[in-house]
């Protein structure tokens, strides 16, 4: 089954590529729909990307979205 990933201040992963597992790519592989992030003060871009069960990015704009946030 697929799941979400939160990408912090990095670009979307191209379709067909696997999402790395590091501090800027948060895997929500348990099916979670929320997560707590600790970000440095300033402007950030948070991206959400849906992948298949093997963490491979799916093709299509409907599988990704982004927001900009400011942490004070």
pLDDT-based confidence at residue 5 (cuts at 50, 70, 90): very high
- Residue whose C-alpha is closest to residue 21's, from 53, 44, 55, 67: 55
- What pTM, to 2 d.p., does this model score? 0.90
CB 6 within 8 A of CB 37: yes
CB 43 within 8 A of CB 68: yes
Is the model's pLDDT at 31 over the cut of 80? no
pLDDT-based confidence at residue 63 (cuts at 50, 70, 90): very high
């Amino acid at each position: 089954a697929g799941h979400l990933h939160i990408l912090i201040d990095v670009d979307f992963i191209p379709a067909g590529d696997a999402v790395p597992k590091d501090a800027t790519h948060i895997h929500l592989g348990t099916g979670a729909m929320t997560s707590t992030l600790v970000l440095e003060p300033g402007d950030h871009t948070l991206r959400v990307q849906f992948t298949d069960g093997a963490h491979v990015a799916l093709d299509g704009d409907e599988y990704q979205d982004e927001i900009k946030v400011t942490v004070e």
